[in-house]
Amino acid sequence: MKVKTAGALIILVFLSGCLPTSVIDDILMVEAEGYDYIGDGKVLGTATMPNYVESGNQGGQGAGLPSTAAMMSSVSGVTYDSKSLIDKFQSKGQRPLRLGKVRIMIFNKRMARHGLKKELDFRNRDPETGRDMQLAVVDGSTNKLLTAQYQTTIPVSRYLTDMIDQNQEQNYPKSNLHQVLYSYYGNYMDPFMPMIRKEGMHLEMRGIALFRNDKYVMTLPEKNVFLFKMLFEKFNQGVYDYQYSPGKHVVIRNVYSTVSYKVRNGNGAEPEIFAKVRLMGDVRQSAPHLLKKDYHTKVEKGMERDIEERAFKMVEMFQKKRIDPLRLGDLVRSYTRQFDGASWDERYPHAHFHCSVHVNIMEMGVSQ
């Protein structure tokens, strides 16, 4: 039996031949891809790979690579829209480029407006990349963003993803590749991504870029992001700033927020959508003398009214622009038997959106 096993092993060696290897330190792992549209179906692509050798080998003294050795850390070049950047840049690669660890793809506004159809299709088809990667739209040039120097020395790809991840734990809704593809391919809904900008030596989140199918339409300003997330999913770490009266603010940090929807008359000309939000939170900051005995009526009710009003306005704007990032269409579908999908696009702007918010302030910090 051992002879047979040994034989089998030897055959295994010969049969499999040589599979192409990707030894971890002999490849360049692309971590971020940037796409700048330059018109006429042409794209300026940028790819960055983190540079791990920069700090030198801690264990090795006097051997191996010199501590100054640094691999190339970014490539860029012009190609046609939808071209896989890796394949394009392979000829510029010092070592083989590999796509498996791409963590973020960013597009400039023009690219997003042009449409991301081909890129999304490519990402969905590609077995190599992860599905939890981030997508983002950049206000400005992605090439500059990816190749610039920042305060931090960790690679820009990681800086970007850390920033987006951390924000999505809080005010920003989850929008990784899975979410985007879900909305992009799904019927009666549209994708959205965070909007990012480079400000001097650092990066910042600038709201949410909203799409119609694969094309960028508008940006949701940062002050409305909380409302968006509140209507989009349940979450527990957002911060809402309520302006009680000019100069007087109350800020609450929600401990818990849920949303539930009801739909009436889904196949009618004017469907009605009811959103019911329960929001529980603690006060973070408040203008003095605002939280008195009647804060229930004054602050909570005022805040409820404020949120309802702004949420309504936000959805109204979505309807006007005929975009549906909140997936309301899919919601109506799920509540309606024999849903009439063909005419939904016509009916969507006429749908009535009702939002009722119940705010419950639970604690007010450690001082009275």
Partner 1 sequence: MQKKIREASQVSPIIAFFITLSIQIGIGVLSFQRTVSRHSGQDAWVVMLIAGLSTLAVMWMILRLLDNEQAYGQPDLLSIHRRLFGKWIGGMLNMAALSFVTIFGVVTLRSYIEILQVWVFPQLSVFGISIIFCLMVWYAVLGGFRVVAGICTLSTLYMLPLILNGGFELQQAHFSNLLPLLEHSPQSLMQSYMQAIHSYLGFELVLFFHPFIKRPEAARKWYYFGLLTALYIYLMVLILALTYFSQAELQTEIWPTLTFWKAIHFPLLEHFDIIGIMVFLWVFLPSISMSAWAISRGIKQTFPIIRQKYALIFVLVLFVILSAMIRDGARVEWINNLYTMIGFYFIYAYIPFLLIYQLIHKKMKQKQTKGTG
Partner 2 sequence: MFWKKKRLQETDPNEKSPKTVKDLIAKLKDYPDFTHFEHRGKYLNCWISFFQSLVNIEFVHRDVFPFLYRDDVRNLNDIQERLPIEKIIRTRDISVIQTKLLEGYIVIQIKKSQAECLVVPSIRVKGRQVEPPEVETSIIGPKESFVESVDTNINLVRKRIPIPQLAMQEFRVGKVSNTRVSLLYLKGIANMENVNTVRQRIEDLEVTSLLDCNMLSQLISDNNNSPFPQFIDTERPDRTAASIYEGKIAVFVDGSPSALILPTTIVEFFGAFDDYFLTWHLASTYRLLRLFAVAISVLAASLYVAVLTYHYQLVPKDLLGTLITSRSSVPFDPIMEALVLEGMIEFLREAGARLPTKVGQTLGVTGGIVIGTASVQAGLTSNVLLIIIAVSALAAFTTPNYRMGTTIRFIRFPFILSAEILGLLGIILCFTFLVCHLLKLTSLGRPYIEPVYPLRVTDWKDAYFRLPYNIQTTRPMFLRPGEAARANRKRNIEKRGKKWTDIDE
Contacts to partner 1 by CB under 8 A: 4-5, 8, 11-12, 15-17, 19-20, 100, 124, 127, 129-132, 176, 178, 181-187, 189, 330-331, 334-339
Asked whether the beta carbons of 37 and 108 are under 8 A apart, the reply is yes
Return the number of the residue (53 or 251) whose C-beta is nearest partner 2.
53
Asked whether the beta carbons of 254 and 279 are under 8 A apart, the reply is yes
Return the number of the residue (63 or 366) whose C-beta is nearest partner 2.
63
153's enclosing H/E stretch is none
Choices 49-57, 201-209, 219-227, 331-339 (CB under 8 A): range interacting with partner 2? 49-57
Interface with partner 2, residue 68, by CB under 8 A: no
124 touches, from partner 1, partner 2, none (C-beta below 5 to 8 Å by class):
partner 1
User: What SS3 state is found at 7?
Assistant: helix
Asked whether the beta carbons of 28 and 94 are under 8 A apart, the reply is yes
Q: DSSP assignment of 215-278, as one string?
A: EEEEEE-GGGHHHHHHHHS-BS--EEEEEEETTEEEEEEEEEEEEEEEEE-TTSSS-EEEEEEE
64 touches, from partner 1, partner 2, none (C-beta below 5 to 8 Å by class):
partner 2
Interface with partner 2, residue 100, by CB under 8 A: yes
Q: What minimum distance in Å lies between the beta carbon of 82 and partner 2?
A: 23
Q: What minimum distance in Å lies between the beta carbon of 67 and partner 1?
A: 29
Interface with partner 2, residue 128, by CB under 8 A: yes
185 touches, from partner 2, partner 1, none (C-beta below 5 to 8 Å by class):
partner 1
Asked whether the beta carbons of 259 and 277 are under 8 A apart, the reply is yes
Return the number of the residue (177 or 303) whose C-beta is nearest partner 1.
177
59 touches, from partner 2, partner 1, none (C-beta below 5 to 8 Å by class):
partner 2
Asked whether the beta carbons of 332 and 319 are under 8 A apart, the reply is no
- Taking the C-alpha atoms of residue 151 and residue 153, their distance in angstroms, rounded to an integer, is 7
Choices 25-33, 185-193, 304-312, 354-362 (CB under 8 A): range interacting with partner 2? 25-33
- Taking the C-alpha atoms of residue 172 and residue 230, their distance in angstroms, rounded to an integer, is 10
Interface with partner 2, residue 23, by CB under 8 A: yes
Query: Pairing state of beta strands 28-29 and 352-363?
Result: unpaired
Return the number of the residue (19 or 342) whose C-beta is nearest partner 2.
19
Write out the residues near partner 2 by the rule CB under 8 A.
1-2, 5, 8-9, 12-13, 16, 19, 21-25, 27, 29, 50, 52-53, 55-65, 98, 100-101, 103, 128, 130, 158
